[in-house]
Amino acid sequence: MGSPEIQRVADTLLHYPSCLIVTHINPEGDAIGSQLALAMALEQHGITVACYDRDGVPENCRFLPTSERVLREIPEEIPPLVIFVDADRLERCNLSVEQLSSAHEFVRIDHHTGGASEAHVSLVETTAAATGELVYALLPALGAKLTPEIATCLQAALMVDTGRFSYTNTTPNTLRIAADLVAAGADVTTIVEWTWGRVSFAASKLLGFALSSLQLTPDGRIAWAVLRQEDFQSVNANAEDTEGIIDHIRAVRDIQIGALFSEKRGVVRVSLRSNGTVDVARIARFFNGGGHAKAAGLTFEGLLEHAVCDVLQAIEAALE
């Protein structure tokens, strides 16, 4: 991630008087944190910023400064600049170029693998632990002050995507950035309390349903669990209540890949985690999903049983 690339993106962002920042469906701390931090940085230059996500802000991110600004409908008037963060393509944001046809330019800021033909300018670094690292790197080029509010959003981004700095994607640079954010006023205590210290009743019940369905493939290399439509309905749960369940599946000793299948309204969300050398992002992309080598996801249109069969077959082929 060289300085000319950063400067080119910064110059593009500062060129327009208004912009729309979007992020991927079913967002989490890195997506929302990066989106809000970038919005606040651009507003320091008087740029008018709108933020959009189809699914809105999950409950465990609603403490983030200015989180109430995130729209669940795209604006009637699309600004000339559209920025998609923490997503490799607009499709991951449930958007298309046709929906945003009045935009003049598209910019991608992301740390996922995969390409994005819509982006005219990109800042992509797949070795970054979180998209928040890239937004942090942009701040000096944007001439933006690192306020406590921006620092809190970026610290949440880093902590979520590194599992509180416990995942293998945590680098010395990640920790240096985290230290800078704490020095700038990031509210780590509140981040931990909201993100990991508050679990809803519905989320606790879903964890029980998932673990009661937990299975191993005969060779013991894949652990997988399912959440059925009736599980969600019985406790009035939603998609964000599944946050963290996949980590319990991944923790099963000696497995190489963990998978969680969540069924809602004829659509199955699949979360994949790798404990070994298999790149689960490649598996996810086969089903038009995406993610990282060790953490990825996809959406399967069809029956839960078909999703389990097809995805497990793809995983087994990758393991071979």
Range of the domain at 74: 3-196
244 and 156 together in one domain: no
Looking at the structure, tell me whether residues 210 and 246 fall in a common domain: yes
Cβ-based neighbours of 248, under 8 Å, separated by 6 or more:
207, 210, 211
Which has the closest alpha carbon to 292: 300, 282, 301? 282
Q: Are residues 166 and 223 located together in one domain of the fold? A: no
Integer angstrom CA distances of residue 223 from 125, 201, 264, 296? 30, 25, 21, 15
Instruction: Judge whether residue 2 has pLDDT over 80.
Output: no
Q: Of the residues 162, 196, 230, which one is the last residue of a structural domain?
A: 196
| Whether residue 157 sits in one domain with residue 206 | no
For position 303, which CATH number holds? 3.10.310.30
For the whole model, what pTM was predicted? 0.86
| 22 and 115 together in one domain | yes
**Contact in structure between 283 and 277 (CB atoms under 8 Å):** no
Q: What pLDDT sits at residue 93? A: 94
Residues 146 and 278 in one domain: no
Torsion-angle region of 16 (φ positive above 0: left; ψ -120 to 50: alpha; else: beta)? beta
Last residue of a domain, one of 149, 177, 196: 196
Kindly report, residue by residue over 142-177, the tens digit of the pLDDT.
999 999 999 999 999 999 999 999 888 999 999 999
Whether 262 and 183 map to the same domain: the answer is: no
Predicted confidence at residue 198, as pLDDT, reads 82
Residue 226: CB partners within 8 Å, gap ≥ 6?
A: 210, 213, 260, 261, 262, 263, 304, 308
CA dihedral 183, 137, 158, 51 (to 10 degrees): 110
| Cβ atoms within 10 Å, residue 63 | 17
- Rounded Cα distance between 9 and 11, Å, is 5
Q: Are residues 126 and 265 in the same domain?
A: no
What is the structure's pLDDT at 1? 54
pLDDT of residue 199: 85
Averaged pLDDT of the chain: 94
The end-to-end CA distance of the chain, in Å, is 34
Q: Is the pLDDT of residue 309 over 80?
A: yes
Residues in the chain: 320
Task: Tell me the C-alpha to C-alpha distance, in Å, between residue 78 and each of 64, 69, 98.
Answer: 25, 16, 11
Q: What is the pLDDT of residues 73-123, one digit of tens each?
A: 999 999 999 999 999 999 989 999 999 999 999 999 999 887 667 889 999
Least Cα distance to 83 among 14, 185, 170, 171 occurs for 14
Task: Give the total number of structural domains in the chain.
Answer: 2
Residue 95 in tokens: 């958007």
CATH of the domain at 169: 3.90.1640.10
Tell me the pLDDT tens digit for each residue of 230-264.
Answer: 999 999 998 889 988 999 999 999 999 999 999 98
